[in-house]
Homo-oligomer: A and B are copies of this chain.
């Protein structure tokens, strides 16, 4: 029997939400997977909406922390910063695939509250900041920073989904090539 039921509930909910979406996942499904009674969920969360928002904030915060930690800020050059963000994204994807799928498929959900949206916006703001620094130094194309994010993050998400679907085997060698491809998309050539 598990020690921390709240953790069990969050883990089960994350996997189910990632696979079937918010509305496609029922409370009994979560209870079954977490091996708790349905009522137990309501000892830890006010309701289903509160659960999905808690989970969303948790996952985005984890993702953000991974990207931020050891980020080569003002010291490192732009190429190095890009590399850091790119590899950290894949590192997170490898260790937390459900979290990433969950974030990606729920970040526009109508059930997200103000706090969830703010956490997600702050997360994007960190990447935007790094990109704009790179532009000032003349290493990155003069496109809207949102466009540059979309290209790199969009490519990353789709690559990850391909790998999840078994349509792509991600070796270390390939990852380096993909990093170079994405860098070519945003750098000044």
Contacts and interface: CB of A to CB of B under 8 A. Distances in A.
Contacts of A158: 149-151, 153-155, 157
Interface stretch (A38-46, A88-96, A173-181): A173-181
A72 interface: no
Interface residues of A, number: 39
A97 interface: no
A141 to B, nearest CB: 7
Interface stretch (A2-10, A21-29, A131-139): A21-29
Nearest to A143: B177
Given A20-B110, A110-B20, A159 B147 contact: yes
A126 to B, nearest CB: 16
| Copies of this chain in the oligomer | 2
- Taking each of A20, A21, A155, A186, which has the highest tally of chain B beta carbons within 10 Å of its own beta carbon? A155
A47 interface: no
B174 A150 contact: no
A184 interface: yes
Interface of A: 19-24, 105, 108, 110, 141, 143-144, 146-147, 149-159, 161-162, 165, 167-168, 174, 177-178, 181-182, 184-186, 189
Chain A to chain B: the 7 pairs with minimum beta-carbon distance, closest first: A154-B158, A23-B23, A185-B185, A23-B24, A150-B158, A154-B154, A151-B155
